[in-house]
Chain A
Amino acid sequence: MTDGSFRASDVTKSYDDGKTFANDRLTLHVEPGEVYGLLGPNGAGKTTLVKQAIGLLKPDSGTISLGPHDLIDDPDAARQLCSYLPQAQMPINSFKAHEAIKITGMIRGGSAAAVATRRDELIDALDIGEWRDTLGTKLSGGVKRLVGFAMVAVWPGRLVILDEPTNDVDPLRRRLLWDQVRRLGDEGVAVFLVTHNVLEAEKSVDRLAIIDEGRIFAEGTPSSLKLADRGRLRLQLMLVPRSATPELPAFVEDHTRVRNNLIAVIPEAEAAHGIGWAQELMGSGIAEEYALGATTLEDVYVRLTGDIAAKEPASS
């Protein structure tokens, strides 16, 4: 096999001598040119998986490969072929932004001139030119994150791993960042993206997996995952803090409660009844606000991860 796909097969990783299974037989693949999203709540096992791909952790069992290279047996190959934006901040306090990007690109094997050209493109594309000569200590968290992204994207290798890349980034530059993630894909790089921001991921990924408690619960394109929810609406109710969940009318097909947020899934035909019910709850002081809208990937996500949480109370 000489294709360039990234494959994880049956990856299992436990911590604390098998007490916590952070990854439980995970299997997935990312093709060159594809942006693949791994979505899941905190503690789902996302970071654990990517750290194994880059050779920082070793799985209990299973295999991880990129094209012909076994990344577990050959962590040197993993580091040369994959570039990695960790979830934690980058160690660039005493680097000027442009230096950090250039040195990383050159460490990754790019020539000084080629790296400098690409760096300048990225600085423009991410609109961070005003901090070009600023030391890392003086950068805000969001700008530091963008510089970190540029460090990883400037000489990317065949697989780019991004662990929560948009954390702290302002909404406008987030869009620019997503454009650059897309561009990596268009250049033939496989992008493996970890996030808990479902709405953003929905617009930018080609395929995604929803993961919780170390297992994949659904996988597919954003629209294929929403298929099951076609013809339904989401009615979101903001309940008074700490109030009990109100009795649900018969037309509510499904619901999840996350703190004060009650999300009810109702058929499109029942929209009027749904609004009536919501207004009633507001009138009687149980709900403070409501919104009715099309189901989103977030609903699929909340339904799946919510279901999981309901079946097996989180161990932590």
Chain B
Amino acid sequence: MTAPAIPALRTGPGYWWHSFVMMTRWEIVGLRLLLPITVFVQVLTGAGFVLGVGLFFGQVPPRAALFLSTGVIVITLATVGLVLGPQLIAAQKAEQTYDFIWSLPVPRSTAAAAWIVTNTIIAVPGMVMALVVANWRYDIDLRVSTLIIPGALLTLYTATMLGYAIAHTIKQPMLINLITQVTIFALTGFSPVNFPKEQLPGWLAALNEFLPLLHMANVMRAGLTDGIVSGLGRSYVVLGIWAVVATMVTAFVLRRRA
């Protein structure tokens, strides 16, 4: 018999787009069982955090309330990208279902892009809910501007890509989970997200100038408030560098073969 000829390989923007759409469908259907509960947990955490701190401190001064509420939103976004995402990937590795997904004939970048879309779907309801609750409970002076769009996108992108890079670099699922636990701890405890950086010891404040969290908080706040953010340009630059580094590391680890 004459065998069918080897077909030409698919390339080009049409192939990329089709792969991206299909991978996004794959991820969203793949999270069907998990997505409602995950979104719900994100909503609860965001709202709970806002309310809880209020309970703890009793009367929250307006400036602190504004700082706190906008900080919670940053934490919600960063948690999805840096903690939840890697844990989902760790679960795939633990269940050994990773091989099939990575054997699918799509550009690696479409899998990453689909992952960002998925993380956005998980993160946005929690973020909106936290804002609504904060507004209702503290009657804060929120001034939402269009700056929130690049701010939220860059924050979510950077956090997601960092988490993605970590999860794909480390082989052991247990270790991935451990690292993400440490990350969330450092995130909430030692980064000036929920409080002004002046409250940190000098060296820690200086260190935070180079880490992404402070700058995520800055770009987000710039889109939600008026007049309390300074050094916005610098924050975009630092965060942009983190985004590029995370993307390069991801691109490298996704092409790597053992």
Q: Which residues of A contact B (CB under 8 A)?
A: 2-4, 31-33, 51, 54-58, 66-69, 75-77, 79-86, 88-91, 93-95, 99, 103-104, 106-109, 135, 137, 157-158, 188
Contact = CB atoms under 8 A, between A and B. Distances in A.
A172 B9 CA distance: 38
**Chain A to chain B: the 5 pairs with minimum beta-carbon distance, closest first:** A32-B3, A91-B97, A88-B96, A94-B32, A58-B257
Interface of B: 1, 3-7, 9-10, 18-19, 22-23, 25-26, 29-34, 92, 95-97, 99-107, 257-258
B107 A88 contact: no
Nearest to A34: B3
Given A56-B99, A56-B257, A89-B97, A80 B105 contact: yes
- Taking chain A's interface residues, is the majority helix, strand, or loop, or is none over half, making it mixed? loop
Nearest to B33: A94
Nearest to B29: A95
B22 A106 contact: yes
A93 B32 CA distance: 9
A160 to B, nearest CB: 12
Nearest to B104: A107
A7 B67 CA distance: 63
A93 B91 CA distance: 13
Given A80-B9, A107-B104, A188 B96 contact: no
Given A33-B1, A94-B31, A86 B99 contact: yes
B100 A109 contact: no
A56 B104 CA distance: 11
Nearest to A31: B3
Nearest to A81: B6
B254 to A, nearest CB: 11
* Residue of A58, A75, A76, A90 with highest tally of chain B CB at under 10 A: A76
Contacts of A137: 33
B190 to A, nearest CB: 36
B23 A107 contact: yes
A91 B30 contact: yes
Contact of A76 (B22, B33, B96, B107): B107
B35 to A, nearest CB: 9
Nearest to A187: B4
A4 B3 CA distance: 7
B6 A84 contact: no
Given A3-B3, A109-B105, 14 more contacts: A32-B4, A54-B103, A56-B102, A56-B258, A58-B258, A69-B6, A79-B106, A89-B97, A91-B100, A94-B29, A107-B106, A135-B33, A158-B6, A188-B1
A107 B19 CA distance: 6
A84 to B, nearest CB: 4
19 contacts: A2-B5, A4-B5, A31-B3, A32-B3, A51-B99, A57-B257, A69-B6, A79-B104, A79-B106, A80-B10, A82-B103, A84-B100, A86-B103, A89-B97, A90-B97, A91-B100, A103-B22, A109-B18, A109-B105
Nearest to A53: B103
Contacts of B104: 79, 104, 107-108
A88 B99 contact: yes
A157 B258 CA distance: 25
Contacts of A76: 9, 105, 107
B105 A108 contact: yes
A188 B4 CA distance: 7
A103 B258 contact: no
A147 to B, nearest CB: 12
A79 B92 CA distance: 20
A157 B4 CA distance: 11
A88 B30 CA distance: 17
Given A57-B258, A88-B96, A66 B4 contact: no
B6 A68 contact: yes
B119 to A, nearest CB: 17
Contacts of B31: 94
Contact of B6 (A67, A88, A104): A67
A33 to B, nearest CB: 6
Contacts of A157: 105
B257 A75 contact: yes
B106 to A, nearest CB: 6
A107 B3 contact: no
A54 B103 CA distance: 7
Contacts of A58: 257-258
A132 B71 CA distance: 47
* Residue of A69, A80, A85, A89 with highest tally of chain B CB at under 10 A: A80
B105 A103 contact: no
Nearest to A155: B105
Contacts of B18: 109
Nearest to B23: A107
Contacts of A91: 30, 92, 95, 97, 100-101
